[in-house]
Amino acid sequence: MVDIDEATGTTVLRRTSPYRPPGFWRKWLIGRPLPTADAAHQTIPKTIGLAVFASDALSSTAYATQEILLILAVAGTAAFGYAFPISLAIVGLLAMVTISYEQTIHAYPNGGGAYIVSRDNLGDFAAQVAGAALLLDYILTVAVSVSSGVAQVASAFPEFFPYRVYLAVGLVLFVMLVNLRGVKEAGAAFAVPTYFFLAMMFSMVGAGFVRYLSGSLSSVIDPPHLEVAQVASAVTPFVILHAFSSGTTALTGVEAISNGITAFQEPRSRNAGITLIWMAAILATLFLGITFLAGQVHAIPSEAETVISQLARTVFDGRGLLYHGVIAATTVILIMATNTSFAGFPRLSALLAADGFLPRQLTYRGSRLVYSRGIIALALIASLLIVAFDASVSGLIPLYAIGVFLSFTLSQAGMARRWWKIGHLPMGQEVKERGSILRYEPRWRLKMVVNACGAVCTAIVMLVFAVTKFTEGAWIVLLLMPILVWVLSRIHRHYVDLAARLSLEHYGETTRVLRQCVIIPLAGVHRGTLEALRYARSLSDDITAVHVSIDPAEAEAVRQKWELWGGGVRLVILESPYRLLLEPLLQYIAEIAASRQRNETITIVMPQFVPSRWWHNFLHNQTAIMLRLALLFRRGIVITDVPFHVE
Amino acid sequence: MVDIDEATGTTVLRRTSPYRPPGFWRKWLIGRPLPTADAAHQTIPKTIGLAVFASDALSSTAYATQEILLILAVAGTAAFGYAFPISLAIVGLLAMVTISYEQTIHAYPNGGGAYIVSRDNLGDFAAQVAGAALLLDYILTVAVSVSSGVAQVASAFPEFFPYRVYLAVGLVLFVMLVNLRGVKEAGAAFAVPTYFFLAMMFSMVGAGFVRYLSGSLSSVIDPPHLEVAQVASAVTPFVILHAFSSGTTALTGVEAISNGITAFQEPRSRNAGITLIWMAAILATLFLGITFLAGQVHAIPSEAETVISQLARTVFDGRGLLYHGVIAATTVILIMATNTSFAGFPRLSALLAADGFLPRQLTYRGSRLVYSRGIIALALIASLLIVAFDASVSGLIPLYAIGVFLSFTLSQAGMARRWWKIGHLPMGQEVKERGSILRYEPRWRLKMVVNACGAVCTAIVMLVFAVTKFTEGAWIVLLLMPILVWVLSRIHRHYVDLAARLSLEHYGETTRVLRQCVIIPLAGVHRGTLEALRYARSLSDDITAVHVSIDPAEAEAVRQKWELWGGGVRLVILESPYRLLLEPLLQYIAEIAASRQRNETITIVMPQFVPSRWWHNFLHNQTAIMLRLALLFRRGIVITDVPFHVE
Which residues on chain B are in Cβ contact (under 8 Å) with A535?
A: 513, 601, 638
> Cβ–Cβ of B502/A645 closer than 8 Å?
no
Rg (CA), chain A: 33
Which residues on chain B are in Cβ contact (under 8 Å) with A637?
A: 643
Task: Establish if A500 touches chain B: CB-CB under 8 angstroms.
Answer: no
- Count Cβ atoms within 10 A of the Cβ of residue A33 and give its class: 0-12 exposed, 13-18 middle, 19 or more buried: buried
Residues A313, A225: contact at Cβ < 8 Å?
A: no
Distant-in-sequence contacts of A495-499, Cβ < 8 A, 24+ apart: A495/A356, A495/A360, A495/B619, A496/A356, A497/B646, A498/B611, A498/B646
Q: Please report which confidence band the pLDDT of residue A566 belongs to, taking 50, 70 and 90 as the band edges.
A: confident
- Taking the C-alpha atoms of residue A195 and residue B643, their distance in angstroms, rounded to an integer, is 57
What b/e sequence results for A269-303 when a residue is b if at least 16 CB atoms lie within 10 Å of its CB, and e otherwise?
bebbbbbbebbbebbbebbbbbbbbbbbbebbbbe
Is the pLDDT reported for residue A40 higher than 60? Answer: no
Lowest mean pLDDT among A11-15, B569-573, B639-643: A11-15
Whole-number pLDDT of residue A6: 61
Selecting from A9, A531, A583 the residue whose C-beta is nearest the C-beta of B19 gives A583
> Cβ–Cβ of B527/A539 closer than 8 Å?
no
Task: Establish if A554 touches chain B: CB-CB under 8 angstroms.
Answer: no
Chain A residue whose CA is closest to B571:
A12
Average pLDDT on B612-625 reads 71
Average pLDDT on B258-275 reads 86
For chain B, the 3-state helix, strand and coil shares in percent, each to the nearest 5, are: 65, 10, 25
Task: Establish if B612 touches chain A: CB-CB under 8 angstroms.
Answer: no
For chain A, the 3-state helix, strand and coil shares in percent, each to the nearest 5, are: 65, 10, 25
Which residues on chain B are in Cβ contact (under 8 Å) with A573?
A: 12-15
> Cβ–Cβ of B559/A643 closer than 8 Å?
no
**Which 614-643 residues of chain B touch chain A by CB within 8 A?**
616, 618-621, 628, 632-633, 635, 637-643
Alpha-carbon distance values, A299 to A201, A219, A400, B54 (Å): 17, 8, 26, 85
Average pLDDT on B310-323 reads 86
Q: Which tens digit of pLDDT belongs to each residue from B560-586?
A: 888 888 888 899 998 888 778 888 888
Which residues on chain A are in Cβ contact (under 8 Å) with B637?
A: 643
Task: Label each residue of A224-268 as H, E or C.
Answer: CCCCCCCCCCCCCHHHHHHHHHHHHHHHCCCCHHHHCHHHECCCH
Chain A residue whose CA is closest to B34:
A578
Whole-number pLDDT of residue B280: 94
> Cβ–Cβ of B640/A638 closer than 8 Å?
yes
Average pLDDT on A375-403 reads 84
Beta-carbon neighbour count of residue A594 at 10 Å?
A: 7
Nearest by Cα to A60 from A136, A143, A148: A148
Whole-number pLDDT of residue A45: 84
Average pLDDT on A190-195 reads 83
- Taking the C-alpha atoms of residue B13 and residue A621, their distance in angstroms, rounded to an integer, is 25
**Which 365-424 residues of chain A touch chain B by CB within 8 A?**
365-367
Mean pLDDT comparison of A263-272, A638-647, B243-252, B277-286, highest-scoring range? B277-286
Q: Which tens digit of pLDDT belongs to each residue from A379-390?
A: 999 999 999 888
- Taking the C-alpha atoms of residue B499 and residue A374, their distance in angstroms, rounded to an integer, is 50
- Give the minimum alpha-carbon distance from A605 to chain B in angstroms, rounded to a whole number: 9
Question: How does strand A437-439 pair with strand B637-645?
Answer: unpaired
**Which 18-37 residues of chain A touch chain B by CB within 8 A?**
18-21, 33-37
Whole-number pLDDT of residue A367: 66
Q: Which tens digit of pLDDT belongs to each residue from B1-54?
A: 566 666 667 777 777 777 776 666 656 665 666 666 655 556 778 888 888 788
- Taking the C-alpha atoms of residue B579 and residue A37, their distance in angstroms, rounded to an integer, is 11
- Taking the C-alpha atoms of residue A246 and residue A572, their distance in angstroms, rounded to an integer, is 78
Is the pLDDT reported for residue A277 higher than 90? Answer: yes
Selecting from B513, B575, B608 the residue whose C-beta is nearest the C-beta of A17 gives B575
Is the pLDDT reported for residue A87 higher than 90? Answer: yes
Is the pLDDT reported for residue A65 higher than 70? Answer: yes
> Cβ–Cβ of B603/A539 closer than 8 Å?
no
- Give the minimum alpha-carbon distance from B4 to chain A in angstroms, rounded to a whole number: 10
- Give the minimum alpha-carbon distance from A196 to chain B in angstroms, rounded to a whole number: 37
- Give the minimum alpha-carbon distance from A643 to chain B in angstroms, rounded to a whole number: 7
Contacts of A379 (CB under 8 A, 6+ apart): A142, A172, A173, A175, A176, A342
> Cβ–Cβ of A10/B568 closer than 8 Å?
yes
Contacts of A462 (CB under 8 A, 6+ apart): A402, A405, A406, A408, A409
Q: Please report which confidence band the pLDDT of residue A240 belongs to, taking 50, 70 and 90 as the band edges.
A: confident
Q: List B609's β-bridge partners, or say none.
A: B644
Nearest by Cα to A306 from A599, A29, A64, A502: A64
Is the pLDDT reported for residue B545 higher than 80? Answer: yes
> Cβ–Cβ of A603/B640 closer than 8 Å?
yes
Whole-number pLDDT of residue A450: 82
Beta-carbon neighbour count of residue B466 at 10 Å?
A: 19
Average pLDDT on A81-107 reads 88
Task: Establish if A568 touches chain B: CB-CB under 8 angstroms.
Answer: yes
Task: Establish if A571 touches chain B: CB-CB under 8 angstroms.
Answer: yes
Residues A441, A427: contact at Cβ < 8 Å?
A: no
Q: Which tens digit of pLDDT belongs to each residue from B468-487?
A: 778 777 888 888 899 999 99
Q: List B548's β-bridge partners, or say none.
A: B574
Chain A residue whose CA is closest to B18:
A584
- Give the minimum alpha-carbon distance from A399 to chain B in angstroms, rounded to a whole number: 28
Q: Please report which confidence band the pLDDT of residue A36 belongs to, taking 50, 70 and 90 as the band edges.
A: low
Which residues on chain A are in Cβ contact (under 8 Å) with B23?
A: none
The rounded percent of chain A whose pLDDT value lies above 90 is 16
Task: Establish if B513 touches chain A: CB-CB under 8 angstroms.
Answer: yes
Whole-number pLDDT of residue B290: 93
Whole-number pLDDT of residue B146: 87
Whole-number pLDDT of residue B289: 94
Whole-number pLDDT of residue A288: 94
Q: Which amino acid is at A135?
A: L
Q: Please report which confidence band the pLDDT of residue B244 belongs to, taking 50, 70 and 90 as the band edges.
A: confident
Distant-in-sequence contacts of A441-447, Cβ < 8 A, 24+ apart: A444/A419, A444/A420, A445/A419, A447/A103, A447/A415, A447/A419
Task: Establish if B526 touches chain A: CB-CB under 8 angstroms.
Answer: yes
Best of A511, A537, A619, A635 to mutate (most B CBs within 10 Å, chain B)? A619
**Which 37-96 residues of chain A touch chain B by CB within 8 A?**
37
Contacts of A350 (CB under 8 A, 6+ apart): A362, A363, A371, A374
Which residues on chain A are in Cβ contact (under 8 Å) with B616?
A: 494
Whole-number pLDDT of residue A86: 92
H-helix or E-strand spanning residue A329: helix A321-354
- Give the minimum alpha-carbon distance from A361 to chain B in angstroms, rounded to a whole number: 7
Q: Which tens digit of pLDDT belongs to each residue from A425-483?
A: 887 788 888 778 888 888 888 888 888 888 888 898 888 888 877 877 788 888 889 99
Lowest mean pLDDT among A220-224, B443-447, B602-606: A220-224
Dihedral sign, Cα of residue B483, residue B485, residue B490, residue B495: positive
Q: Please report which confidence band the pLDDT of residue A200 belongs to, taking 50, 70 and 90 as the band edges.
A: very high
Q: Which residue has the higher pLDDT, B640 or A37?
A: B640
Q: Return the half-sphere exposure (C-beta side, CA atoms, 13 A cut-off) of residue A291.
A: 31
Which residues on chain B are in Cβ contact (under 8 Å) with A539?
A: 539
Mean pLDDT comparison of A411-420, A608-617, B177-186, B327-336, highest-scoring range? A411-420
Q: Which residue has the higher pLDDT, A259 or B549?
A: B549
Whole-number pLDDT of residue B91: 93
- The verdict on pTM exceeding 0.90 is no
Selecting from B5, B513, B573 the residue whose C-beta is nearest the C-beta of A563 gives B5
Q: Which residue has the higher pLDDT, B352 or A470?
A: B352
- Give the minimum alpha-carbon distance from A262 to chain B in angstroms, rounded to a whole number: 17
Q: Which residue has the higher pLDDT, A124 or B31?
A: A124
- Count Cβ atoms within 10 A of the Cβ of residue B417 and give its class: 0-12 exposed, 13-18 middle, 19 or more buried: buried
> Cβ–Cβ of A17/B588 closer than 8 Å?
yes
> Cβ–Cβ of B619/A37 closer than 8 Å?
no
Selecting from A497, A587, A618 the residue whose C-beta is nearest the C-beta of B19 gives A587
Q: Which tens digit of pLDDT belongs to each residue from A505-526?
A: 777 666 665 678 899 998 888 8
Q: Please report which confidence band the pLDDT of residue A615 belongs to, taking 50, 70 and 90 as the band edges.
A: confident
Q: Which tens digit of pLDDT belongs to each residue from B391-433?
A: 777 677 777 778 888 989 999 899 999 989 988 888 778 888 8
Which residues on chain B are in Cβ contact (under 8 Å) with A611?
A: 494, 498
For chains A and B, what is the number of CB pairs under 8 angstroms?
281
Give me chain A's average pLDDT, please.
83
